[in-house]
Amino acid sequence: MKPIVYPVLILLLSLMACDNKKAAEAAGKSYKTPLQKLTSDVMTPEVLWSFGRIGNVSLSPDQSRLVYTVTYFNKEEDRSYSDIYVMDLSNNQSVQITNTAVNESEVKWTPDGQKITYIANGQLWEMNPDGTSPRQITDIENGINGYVYAPDMSKIVFCKDVRLEPTVEDLHPDLPKAKARIINDQFYRHWNDWVEAYTHLFIADYTPGKTITGGKDIMEGEKWESPVRPWGGTEQLAWTKDGKKLIYTCRKKYGIEYALSTNTDLYSYDTENGETRNLTEGMMGYDNNPVISPDGKRMAWESMERDGYEADKNRLFVMNLETGEKKEYTKNFDQSVGQLAWGNDNNTLWFISDRHATDEIYALTLNDGKIRKLTEGIHNYTAVFPTDNALIATKVSMSKPEEIYKVSLQDGRDEEISFVNKPLLDQLTMGKVEKRWVKTTDNKNMLVWMIYPPHFDPAKKYPAILYCEGGPQSTVSQFWSYRWNFQQMAANGYIIVAPNRRGLPGFGQEWLEQISGDYSGQNIKDYLSAIDDAKKEPYIDENRLGCVGASYGGYSVYYLAGHHNKRFKAFIAHCGIFDLESQYCETEEMWFANWDMGGAPWDKNNKTAQRTFANSPHKFVGNWDTPILVIHGQKDYRIDVSQGMSAFNAARMRGIPAQYLYFPEECHWVTGCQDGILWQRTFKAWLDKWLK
């Protein structure tokens, strides 16, 4: 057996051998902080933000190599650096091929496998697989934010933001210093951005050696976007094998209609005659992420059935591109699918699905319609790339950030091949993660994750934290987060109790859907069942319990603050919903509010909606009696910052110890390095103050 070589470790050790900063400055590059020798085996926020983050992974057409990015954060500069790596799959050896002060992203192979492509400074570049001869391919005004080459490399589609709404300066050129927006319809902001432009698709001819300076806007004048905001990327685009048609995802609605609907469709644009055709007309929910079979005859995609329900079951559909015939293959599969990938046999579709709080790899064979589960473990697979001999996959867990693996086609066993974070992980002791099944108040079985501190001693007593998931229909699976990181919380000396309460995926559609219209009902009881069961353990101090959560988890914290019957001694709510009536009119995705809350607060004949708003957390502030930390970002347009301010103000007016951590530049998340470290320090300090 050949000895394993860790290229990132070699690189970092070599950097340590010289004066890093002077060398980088001499090369005209910003200083990249190298790996440090840790002084403790217990994780800290600074260590958490030192991990390398693997970006998008692309398999070469001949299946012999991978290209991927790794991003590191520089705490002093409060910024990130992303560089490109190439791995030879014959020996699993990686080589770093860029080392610049510019972040490279969207790395891919050209369809002929001769070049690596990427975006830097908003433009498309190509270079040789060894990193030599980089050349700028596009020179597009204001840059691009995505691209896909046609299979025959005759054309390229790129994504570019197009401004279609007149600004105040356009309307009133004599008022150049007026700082205002004139808004005429809904959906003028989304998550963390003002909707001032629409991402359109441009198709241009591609000729090696020639710079692309423009292209045809195939959505000219249309006030909607593709890919679809806020999560969409180029996975929502696909060329047919002959390169004559582009299939793209779009929700062709505007303003209030857009805000009320999740009905995205797949459209086919014909490059020869300019015609656009709706391929999924009459399918009313999300339809997206098309993937074309290797022989070009079929298209698979993900589809939800119901309009307005963003957490509906994600079904797997396949279309015959010649006849237009559609077929669903997951009617009897009570799980959602994602990350579809065709096998080279044109008969196998690989995908990832959440089952019992882990994300596993599955295979569908079209000739018999059978679905089989390939993998099993305490982990989350996040992407899969089939080869003839194995699967290449990315995987995370609560105890390990994302790395790249080879997965056996026979038994699902995997082998790590990237080792980006091994140098740090080898110096750390992670806490034990275990599954626990708890009986709920309605006699159901609920899976609860328990995460223990490093060097856990069952003879001692520990404070414990109840974790409340957001979404509300997000997963409490084996995710690795740089904010809600369970190992970091446990490293602070706490036992974490993370229940898969009602409303979470992985346990069937009935379990998932129960929460809609019942925010304050069974799932709240599930939270309490989880912590009441855990606190029976002799190593948990029931007098030192905390409760934390964000988004819907923040709603849960605010609601439990008025209903916990003195179980908890401290609360933390990040970007939580405090006043449901205000939230209904402040948020942007009205399909979400209507489905989850049941309707509008002014609809007095709607019993579901009236029950929802009657149980708004702000109505129970009179029962609050426990210290609370409130965290919110100014640029959170999903749950407006006023929600956090109101909760903090209410606590102080009630005389309750409270603290408000306000981020003027953050949104629904915390993405800045120094802000992220501050978040972790404040989180720990608040819990330590009241629970230790």
Strand order in the sheet with 53-59: 53-59, 65-74, 79-88, 93-96
d(CA 101, CA 461): 48
Residue 597 and residue 521 in contact, taking contact as beta carbons nearer than 8 Å: no
d(CA 664, CA 646): 16
* Catalytically annotated residue among 574, 618, 632, 668: 668
Residue 511 and residue 550 in contact, taking contact as beta carbons nearer than 8 Å: no
| ∠ CA 569-48-660, rounded to 5° | 40
Cα 628 to Cα 45, 546, 647, 655, 656: the distances in Å are 22, 10, 9, 11, 8
CA atoms within 13 Å, Cβ hemisphere of 244: 6
Q: What is the Cα 529 distance to its own chain's centre?
A: 28
d(CA 104, CA 98): 8
Query: What is the identity of the amino acid at 441?
Result: T
Residue 627 and residue 570 in contact, taking contact as beta carbons nearer than 8 Å: yes
Active-site residue flag, 636 = yes
* Catalytically annotated residue among 287, 312, 414, 636: 636
Residues 48/52/56/59 CA torsion (nearest 10 deg) = -140
d(CA 34, CA 55): 19
Q: Which residue has the tokens 């044109």?
A: 346
* Catalytically annotated residue among 551, 556, 616, 646: 551
d(CA 66, CA 384): 12
d(CA 483, CA 454): 19
Helices 590-597 & 607-614 angle (0-180, nearest 10): 90
| ∠ CA 194-631-489, rounded to 5° | 120
Torsion sign (Cα): 156, 160, 165, 166 = negative
Residue 125 and residue 119 in contact, taking contact as beta carbons nearer than 8 Å: yes
**What residues form DSSP beta bridges with 116?**
109, 127
Instruction: Report helix, strand or coil for 12.
Output: helix
What is the gyration radius of the CA atoms in the chain, in angstroms? 26
Q: Which residues of 128-142 are buried (b: 16+ CB within 10 A; e: fewer)?
A: ebebeebeebbebee
Active-site residue flag, 411 = no
Residue 606 and residue 598 in contact, taking contact as beta carbons nearer than 8 Å: yes
Active-site residue flag, 668 = yes
What is the total residue count of the chain? 692
Cα 474 to Cα 37, 470, 512: the distances in Å are 36, 6, 10
User: Number of H helices and number of E strands within the chain?
Assistant: 15, 38
Residues 162/164/167/171 CA torsion (nearest 10 deg) = 140
Residues 403/408/411/416 CA torsion (nearest 10 deg) = -30
β 315-320/298-303 pair status: antiparallel
Q: Which residue has the tokens 């290449």?
A: 392
φ and ψ of 48, to 5 deg: -55, -40
Cis ω on the peptide bond leading into residue 230 (within 30° of 0)? yes
Q: Catalytic residues, which ones?
A: 551, 636, 668
